[in-house]
Amino acid sequence: MFGVANQLLACVALSVGTTILVNKGKVKYIWATLLPLCFLATTTLTAGWMSVKNQFWVMATGPNEALHVTGYIQSILTLTMMLLVVVILGTAVHKWLAVGKTGRDTEALAELA
C-alpha cells in the first residue's frame, strides 16, 4: 500500500507540473511531464487495483479472522487514494483543455477582473 501511495503522489506532482507548463504557455514541453504521468498513472492504478483485488480483499474476506480488519482498512484506504488521484487527474485534464481552447488561464483572468 505504501508503494501505491508513493507512486500516486508522483502522479499528482507530475499533473501539477504539467498544469504549470500549460498555464505558462509552454505547451511544447509538456511531453516531458505528460508521458511519465500517463505511464505512471496507468501502471500505478492497475497495480493498486490488483493489490486490492488479490491481496487486501482476500485478507478482508478470508478464513483468518485476525486479518479481516487489516484487509478492510487497506482496501478502503487504497481505493480512496486511487479515487482521489483520478479526481485530481480529471480536474487537471479539464483545466488543460480549458486553457487550450482559450489560449490563456481563464481563472487567473477572472481573478484580475
Q: What is the pLDDT of residues 69-113, one digit of tens each?
A: 999 999 999 999 999 999 999 999 999 998 888 776 656 555 544
Q: What is the DSSP string of 41-108?
A: HHHHHHHHHHHIIIIIHHHHHSS-GGGHHHHHHHHHHHHHHHHHHHHHHHHHHHHHHHHHHHSS-HHH
pLDDT tens by residue, 2-21 = 899 999 999 999 999 999 99
CA geometry: angle at 54 spanning 52 and 57, to 5°? 55
DSSP state of 27: G
**pTM for the whole thing?**
0.82
